[in-house]
Amino acid sequence: MLHVILSCLKRAALVSVLLLVVPTLNAQPISVVASFSILGDMVREVGGPYVEVTSLVGPNTDSHVFDPTPADAKRIASAQLVFVNGLGYEGWLDRLVKSSGYRGPIVVASKGISTSLELKGSHSHAQDEKREHPTHARAIPDPHAWQNLANAERYVQTIRIALAAALPAHSAAVEQRATDYIKRIRALDQATKAQIAAVAVERRKVITSHDAFGYFSQAYGVTFYSLQGLATASEPTAAEIVRIVDQIKKQKVTAIFTENISDPRVLDRIAKDSGAKVGGLLYADALTAPGTAADTYLKLFEHNVTTIVRGMSGQANE
């Protein structure tokens, strides 16, 4: 007992020392959970030192087939604010929130985004078959809205409003951070449009492993064909592969890209059969590990644009 009291006293002393040293940071950062790594990075950019962000689905991990653990329920239970993408992306979320007992706000980052892209769920989602609500054979919104930088700006506005409200003492700083971040997003949007405009329109046809680039396609004028339906859980059959190879030849697709959350072997085989170039690795749904090529949303986006443009131009990627 005495030991506990002493350690509490020590901690209290340490806290008061910190308060004296850093008077502007007198409030503890608030504990925030984001459903996946890309969204977690956006929240961190806006919240800066005022937030402690945990992403449930981490780097190089597929949110479509995520299986939450009791540790994830604990993370949500101790959060003051939870951010999710919405648009049906986190099929596992409702059950997780329920089991965690979390009663705080859940901010849907994609709020207000135009989801004109309605895609059919594909026929065999291994993951959906395990669930009570299969998504096959019906129209569902495409959740990958962050693949258009203009949508990312909307995400940041939503995050800004939520964080400014949750951090009244730091709302001005949060507003400023959001404004700076949006400037960088807009600059990358302009650079993306300029880079793609330099590629001949008839060469802007590529293949990816899953349908993650519908918003990119619409915003930047690149046609994406995908191996799978909307989710990564389905594997193309042999007959589908033959059909895809035919399509590549017919459409004169310039490049095929693999992803950090998908098995690259099928794409490699299709590239071999069709003669299309393997254009490198794209990051669709997850950041890469801290300290690597795509460990922030903006680095991820920039990497994808450079890789896609090189692939379409017939240049080799590493």
* Chain positions contacting Zn ion, by CB under 5 A: 212, 285
Minimum Å distance from CB 286 to Zn ion? Answer: 9
Nearer to Zn ion, 87 or 107 (CB): 87
Q: Which is nearer to Zn ion, 90 or 285 (CB)?
A: 285
Among residues 199 and 266, whose Cβ is nearest to Zn ion? 266
Tokens of 18: 């910190």
Q: Cβ 287 to Zn ion, closest distance in Å?
A: 13
In this complex, which beta carbon is closest to Zn ion, that of residue 166 or of residue 286? 286
Q: How far is the CB of 259 from Zn ion (least distance, A)?
A: 9
Cβ nearer to Zn ion, comparing 131 with 184? 131
142 alpha carbon, distance to own chain's centre: 13
Residue among 61 and 171 whose Cβ is closer to Zn ion:
61
Shortest reach from residue 282's CB to Zn ion, in Å: 11
Residue 49's nearest CA partner among 30, 64, 75 is 30
In the complex with Zn ion, the residue whose CB is nearer, 107 or 212, is 212
d(CA 88, CA 141): 7
69: left (phi over 0), alpha (psi -120 to 50) or beta: beta
Closest distance of CB 21 from Zn ion, Å:
44
> How near is the Cβ of 220 to Zn ion at its closest, in Å?
18
For the bound state, the minimum distance from the C-beta of residue 70 to Zn ion, rounded and expressed in Å, comes to 25
Please answer whether residues 53 and 43 qualify as being in contact, where contact means their C-beta atoms are separated by less than 8 angstroms: yes
From residue 62, give the alpha-carbon distance in Å to each of 20, 127, 216, 262, 316. 43, 12, 19, 8, 27
Smallest CA-to-CA distance from 261 within 27, 55, 65, 115 is with 65
Percent helix, strand, coil in the chain, to 5, is: 50, 15, 35
Q: Which residues contact 133 (CB under 8 A, 6 or more apart)?
A: 91
How many other CB atoms are found less than 10 A from the CB of residue 99? Answer: 14
Question: Rounded to whole angstroms, what are the CA distances from 294 to 55, 131, 288?
Answer: 16, 32, 5
